[in-house]
Structure 1
Amino acid sequence: MAGETVKTTGRRSRAVAAKKQAILAAGLALFSQYGIHGTSLDQVAEQAGVSKTNMLYYYPSKEALYVAVLKDILEIWLAPFKSFSADQEPLVAIGDYIRRKLEVSRDYPQASRLFCLEMLQGAPLLMAELSGDLKQLVDEKSAIIADWVASGKLAPVDPHHLVFMIWATTQHYADFATQIEAVTGKNLRDPQFFAETVASVQRMITEGIRVR
């Protein structure tokens, strides 16, 4: 009897997780295309394949769903930065971070565009996370870069500006994918173009901070 209860609870938990993931995915797709004001909860529920009442059980308002989607994006976006550590060789660590950020741009373009849209609007619904967890992580990783500079492992560079440059460069390939494809006829889903992009961005940034 106890075993059956555990199995039932496990199935229910997986079903709930799958339903919430479907709602988040639908929210991301619609919010990234139409923004929060141009998206209705009815549209999200229809695309997620759930009833509006059921969706509101998990996310009681459009704003609550929007924030949940943004927090999910932030986790994806910050995952490569969290792996950045002091015991790595500086240029290898930075080159790997660039590659992983470009993978995020390739694999989650809608997430990158929605995050960009929120920033352009002044991040009214995400400011607490930006000034809290994000700032703490950036301060922590910037301190690692500053130590590398102080120990002569990197050329003199402001850690924050280096991080901002990596973000701007790598996210450009998601946020301006239409422009890139119009100019080159290619996008990051093309394996050869992705490899060329990684190598080019790595070279331009790491050569600028290499000790001469």
Structure 2
Amino acid sequence: VPQGIGSAFFQVDEADDTSVLSVGPIVAANIEYSHSRVMYSMSEYLRFLLGVKRRSIEGMQPEESQRAETVISLMEKHVIAIAESIHEPSLLRHVLVHADPHGHNILVGDNGDITGIIDWEFNYISPAILAVDYPLWLSSEGRLDPRFASDFQLWEESPPERQRLCHFFETELNRRSPELYHCLDKGRVLRAAVGWLLDTLPDLGFDRMGSWAKATFFEG
């Protein structure tokens, strides 16, 4: 997999006319999250997301914008520090990620095994610590934690069932690939932070994100 944080594409090698997987600037479904160049560090990517989120403050009322700026500054302080403290090659190796991992894009055989994943229009190459995650419909972390989730958030399973299935997922992942489980475990806070920064559900003053940040970073 090419090194760099961005969207994957195939480039023709003129020497032997073969297609080579390459990385280019991020192309996102929401143009706000597209970037003009490839990024080469996790902290650079996080600063980009923080900048996008900060721009969304402009439409808020003065009191809300003041609260939102406080939250963004808190996120920036802790998230960048965590990202810059990670040096393990297994956590930082780059992997290809599907950007729309909903159930309708996953093909499953009669025996329940995954047989394919379709609709790769939106994808990105990312450090493994940000890429290895729970299935989207099972996660209860960050913006999907019921304590901080939007009133518009819907879950496909009850809390006890999500907890049971997440435990099963962790056990199977650790059995099949301890290295991937290590990424899942070590990346919880960073992935949750990225989820918040990409979240487009209503959050005036970033109050929900702020509650998560204060609980996570023990501030406030």
TM-score of the superposed pair, with normalisation by structure 2:
0.23
More helix as a share of residues? 1
Specify the structure having the higher radius of gyration (Cα): 1
TM-score of the superposed pair, with normalisation by structure 1:
0.23
